Amino acid sequence: MEGKTIEKSFDTQYLKDYLIDHGVKPSTIRIKVLEYLLKNRIHPTAEDIYNAVYEDIPTLSKTSVYNTIDLFLEKNIIQIINTGNKESRYDIDTSIHGHFSCNICNRVFDFDIDSIEYDKSILDGFIINEQKVLFKGICNSCK
């Protein structure tokens, strides 16, 4: 059994409630996109999402994927990751954590952040909505 990926399962009701809890009215596309994001923790691109969901919904358009992404971002269901490559990536985990982007394989790894110690005086009075930490380099399996 070791090394075997256990695919999590999420039933439709769970997915619907997840959306409703985040202020999003469920629809087939939204449920499928959410399901894909929950099952595939690979920080996918819009293209990745499109290709995967297209399997289930052959009438799917790219615009719908972007619409869904925009809605999910707005409702804080996902966060965007800009690694510097042109394609944005998306993360179903909206908590503050770090991302390591490998310059070779292009994969993005999560890592936990305990704290960021910074000089708060410069940002005095600023409203901070997002805190993003991005490391870049070469991952263990590529070096």
Kindly list the residues in this chain that would bind DNA in the complex (CB under 7 A). 25, 27-30, 45-47, 57, 59-64, 66-68, 70, 86-88
Euclidean distance between CA atoms 59 and 100, whole angstroms:
35
Kindly give, in sequence order, each residue whose CB lies less than 8 Å from that of residue 34, ignoring residues fewer than 6 positions away: 15, 18, 19, 72, 77, 92
Is 103 an interacting residue with respect to a copy of itself (CB under 8 A)?
yes
Phi, psi of 133 (to 5 degrees): -120, 120
The partner in contact with residue 40, picked from DNA, a copy of itself, none with C-beta cut-offs of 5 to 8 angstroms by kind, is: none
Is 84 an interacting residue with respect to a copy of itself (CB under 8 A)?
yes
For the bound state, the minimum distance from the C-beta of residue 100 to a copy of itself, rounded and expressed in Å, comes to 6
Which pair of structure tokens corresponds to residue 107? 């994969």
Euclidean distance between CA atoms 15 and 24, whole angstroms:
11
Could you tell me which stretch among 5-13, 17-25, 37-45, 113-121 binds a copy of itself (CB under 8 A)?
113-121
The partner in contact with residue 30, picked from DNA, a copy of itself, none with C-beta cut-offs of 5 to 8 angstroms by kind, is: DNA
